Amino acid sequence: MKNTIGLYGLGVMGANLAKNMANNRERVAVFNYTPDLTEKFVGEFSSQNVEAHYELEAFIQSLETPRKVFLMVTAGPVVDSVIRSIIPFLDKGDIIMDGGNSDFHDSNRRFHELNEQGIHFVSVGVSGGEEGALNGPALMPSGDACAYSLVAPILEKIAAKVDGKPCCTYLGPEGSGHYVKMVHNGIEYADMQLITEAYQFLRERVGLTVEEIADVFAQWNETDLKSYLIEITADILRKKDDETGKPMVDVILDKAGQKGTGKWTSKEALDIGAPSSILTEAVFARYLSAMKEERVHAENILSGPKAVDDKMDKDYWINVVKEALFMGKICAYTQGFNQYRTASEHYGWSLDLSEIALIFRGGCIIRADFLNKISNAFKQNKELTNLLLAPYFIEKTNRYQSSLRKVVMKGMESGLSLPCFSTSLTYYDGYRSSQSGANMIQAQRDYFGAHTYERNDKEGIFHTNW
Ligand code: 6PG
């Protein structure tokens, strides 16, 4: 009997996806460029639904037609070379899926190049890390709707489920699935940075111990903040280092790494004119964190405010920080979804923002209860220009904006850097201001470069002889 799907690439994510497919009774052919990972895979996972291959042609020929090949290889040129290597064994109508964190520009190109050869290309954003890949990731597929319908039964089966609904739905043409995954990661960066700032504020400003903060996060996870990232933060704070007995967070060097998807989100936001400042600030915060040696040096040279010694009421401030964090998250997700809207118009993709929020509810790193609210907001009003204007979020921000203000002001007065909290507030205040101050910029541009300006009292384009 032929196999229903081929999984190419048996790194951690690929191996777990193959197991997930086999556990869901798909007959999976597996292949890796080097035999070692294939041997390792079959050594640790035995299933009658798995067929290991060591020859590329035999791997592809073992698949029922139209063949469905799922690539889980390193994003970038490797994807192109793998595609080139399998094309000779494919027929028109076969389908290649790419589940890596590929740049959507590459996915757009691959989609069109393969289309010309009669091969379907389905971009599949995959989120959820190792555990998600094994037990149910969030999947963000795009490409031809007809090609998607052929792979949908498999993808929807292996995806996470929330309220019985798979966290996988057809999103749009070309590489839009990888676009959706990219911005998911931009939101992920912002969410992680906001949580980090809340932790830092509670520790350095309010004076809570690591254990107390773990309890606070665990408690928050029972509220409207409930989310995977809040949950793992509580777990992380409870973990002690085996060697020293100190909290793990205290022995981990404060230099953040990154693989690039957050940066891509920001570059893309700049290209299409989406004000994703909180997402971008989270990328910059990682860059600044990486300058450890410089920061250590500067600490002894550059002065800040005098130490503030006011005693802070713990219970009061825990609640204020909670509200500030929720407010920051609302602003960050608003920016991410606004970027989806702008990109959808820019590329003509007709992305359904309500559906995107729905598939983020399970499996992925940013899964959170309040994605239901985001989904409802876009479902109730398809023309909604900005999430902040949806009734649920108006009510929340009306209640929480003053807490964000309090935390930012306390942080600033004591010299605590709060990049995403402060940018959230700046975005919020900027968005709700009918007067932006840009009249001055227009005047300056006209003054030094005769760039012209519009007036607020009559139509037309004007220039002043300054
Ligand atoms: C996910 C994650 C996943 C991975 C990121 C981390 O949704 O499963 O986003 O894709 O964790 O690649 O990215 P950085 O290394 O850039 O933090």
pLDDT digits (tens, 9 = 90+) for 63-97: 999 999 999 999 999 999 999 999 999 999 999 99
Q: For residue 185, how far is its CA from the centre of ligand 1 (angstroms)?
A: 6
Radius of gyration (Cα) for the chain, nearest Å?
Answer: 25
pTM given for the model = 0.96
Neighbours of 379 (CB within 10 A): 15
Measure the CA angle with vertex 171, ends 166 and 175; round to 5°: 125
Classify the complex by whether its ipTM is higher than 0.85, answering yes or no.
yes
User: Would you say the CATH fold of 439-466 matches that of 5-174?
Assistant: no
Three-state DSSP at 7 gives strand
Q: Give the pLDDT score at 310.
A: 74
Tens digits of residue pLDDT in 329-363: 999 999 999 999 999 999 999 999 999 999 999 99
Largest CA distance in the chain: 82
Q: Give the pLDDT score at 307.
A: 73
Q: For residue 229, how far is its CA from the centre of ligand 1 (angstroms)?
A: 13
Pick left, alpha or beta for residue 450 (phi over 0 → left; psi -120 to 50 → alpha; otherwise beta).
Answer: left
Beta bridge partners of 294: none
pLDDT < 70 stretches in the chain: 309
User: By C-alpha distance, which of 12, 60, 6, 49 is closest to 29?
Assistant: 6
Judged on CB neighbours under 10 Å (0-12, 13-18, 19+), 448 is exposed
Beta bridge partners of 71: 8, 98
The CATH number corresponding to 181-431 among 1.10.1040.10, 3.60.21.10, 2.60.120.380, 1.20.1250.20 equals 1.10.1040.10
Indicate which residues carry an active-site annotation: 181, 188
d(CA 123, CA 141): 5
* 101 Cβ contact list (under 8 Å, min separation 6): 75, 125, 178, 181, 182, 185, 259, 261
Classify residue 67 by its DSSP letter.
Answer: P
Q: Give the pLDDT score at 10.
A: 98
Q: Give the pLDDT score at 309.
A: 67
| CATH class, range 439-466 | mainly alpha
d(CA 453, CA 463): 7
Query: Does 34 carry a binding-site annotation?
Result: yes
> What's the CATH code, domain 5-174?
3.40.50.720
* Residue 153: cis peptide before it, omega within 30 degrees of 0: no
Beta bridge partners of 120: 95
Ligand 1 pocket test: which of 17, 126, 365, 366 has the largest number of ligand atoms within 8 Å of its C-beta?
A: 365
Task: Quickly tell me which residue has 């900005």 as its tokens.
Answer: 386
Q: Beta 95-98 vs 68-71: how paired, if at all?
A: parallel
> Could you tell me the residue ranges of all domains in the chain?
5-174, 181-431, 439-466
Q: Give the pLDDT score at 462.
A: 98
Ligand 1 pocket test: which of 188, 193, 228 has the largest number of ligand atoms within 8 Å of its C-beta?
A: 188
- The binding-site residues of ligand 1, defined as CB within 6 angstroms of any ligand atom, are 101, 127-129, 185, 188, 257-259, 261-262, 364-365
Tens digits of residue pLDDT in 150-168: 999 999 999 999 999 999 9
Query: Does 28 carry a binding-site annotation?
Result: no
